[in-house]
Amino acid sequence: MSDKKLIPISLATLEPSDALAWDLYLLPRDSNQYILYRASNYPITSSDLEKLVASGITRLYISREQRASYQQYLRDNADAWLNNSAVPLPERMETLNQVVTGSLSESFRKKEAVERVVGQSSTFGRQTAAFFAAEPILFEDLVRVLQHDYTTFAHSANVCFYSVLLAKHLGFSGDDLAQIATGALLHDLGKLEIDPRLLVKDNRLTEAETREMQKHPTLGFRRLCRQDDLTAAQLLMVYQHHERLDGGGYPVGLTNDEIHPWAKLCSVVDVFDALTSDRPYRTAIADDIALGIMHRDANTAFDSEMLTCWTRLISTSDAN
């Protein structure tokens, strides 16, 4: 089969099965010819998978048309491959990011019902929190695999992973960590109701456009506030993530203690991701310069303890 029609999949994500939904192809070492390894209606056993690993194979290939089916398989089996310690951590992180961004991208594009988006985000939030709680994930593990193009779905995934990393190092655990992950995935949901032309505008927004854009926390909050499975703290992440400690934020202009700690946490990583991602009107800013900009606003925009913790996490990674 032509390589243009094939996409790689990680061998580590496959479970033994009586039949997978796709034909699996192999690229033998020292060859550029893909060969059919296993037709879809044929079982694949744990011994087959072990033999592939023993021969140094880490990737198999499937037809590009079957990407959606593979994505669904990854979602269904996430608990298995995320907890498989035989798979290197960066590979599991990369696959998790692909699954989360792939699913969010699809549900945002299709404008799926809010119940479905919340359900999906809660599942990803729980899985991400459990993965981060169990594994020594570093900032550098994240930054290598995340997309930095500031599409709403990629930004939401980045803010989720960064939030969980920061929250874990601030001492959050268990259900709190899972709730923070889910709240972060949903923090910008209101942007789906903003004119998409504003989201990709390649020069600065006018005053009227800025006012329009600044409605997104309120729009997101209104969209989500009737969901029984979200907590008040998660809703406040959505509603308050653009507030500043000095009252100069939006939509309300709340100050310090009026802002929920989880919204303060979300604000730190939200601004960091915004600065370090490519925007339509400028390219990404380097991590250290972004932190320098943010430290000028410590105690006026950001909680200084949270910003210090985030800075330490990034600096530790840089030192490795």
Cβ closer to Fe ion: 188 or 303?
Answer: 188
The residue nearest Fe ion at its CB is 188
Cβ closer to Fe ion: 219 or 284?
Answer: 219
Cβ closer to Fe ion: 137 or 213?
Answer: 213
Query: Rounded to the nearest whole angstrom, what is the least distance from the CB of residue 242 to Fe ion in the complex?
Result: 6
Cβ closer to Fe ion: 73 or 302?
Answer: 302
Query: Rounded to the nearest whole angstrom, what is the least distance from the CB of residue 7 to Fe ion in the complex?
Result: 32
Query: Rounded to the nearest whole angstrom, what is the least distance from the CB of residue 315 to Fe ion in the complex?
Result: 26
Cβ closer to Fe ion: 15 or 193?
Answer: 193
Cβ closer to Fe ion: 9 or 190?
Answer: 190
- Cβ(250)–Cβ(217) under 8 Å? yes
Query: Rounded to the nearest whole angstrom, what is the least distance from the CB of residue 130 to Fe ion in the complex?
Result: 26
Query: Rounded to the nearest whole angstrom, what is the least distance from the CB of residue 5 to Fe ion in the complex?
Result: 38
| Structure-block tokens of residue 2 | 């032509």
3-state secondary structure the chain: CCHHHEEEEEHHHCCCECCCCCCEEECCCCCCCCEEEECCCCCECHHHHHHHHHCCCCEEEEEHHHHHHHHHHHHHCHHHHHCCCCCCHHHHHHHHHHHHHHHHHHHHHCCCCHHHHHHHHHHHHHHHHHHHHHCCCCHHHHHHHCCCCCCHHHHHHHHHHHHHHHHHHCCCCHHHHHHHHHHHHHCCHHHHHCCHHHHCCCCCCCHHHHHHHCCHHHHHHHHHCCCCCCCHHHHHHHHHCCCCCECCCCCCCCEHHHCCHHHHHHHHHHHHHHHCCCECCECCCCHHHHHHHHHCCECCCECHHHHHHHHHHHHHHHHC
In the complex, which residues of this chain contact Fe ion (CB under 5 A)? 188
Query: Rounded to the nearest whole angstrom, what is the least distance from the CB of residue 78 to Fe ion in the complex?
Result: 27
Cβ closer to Fe ion: 91 or 188?
Answer: 188
Query: Rounded to the nearest whole angstrom, what is the least distance from the CB of residue 244 to Fe ion in the complex?
Result: 13
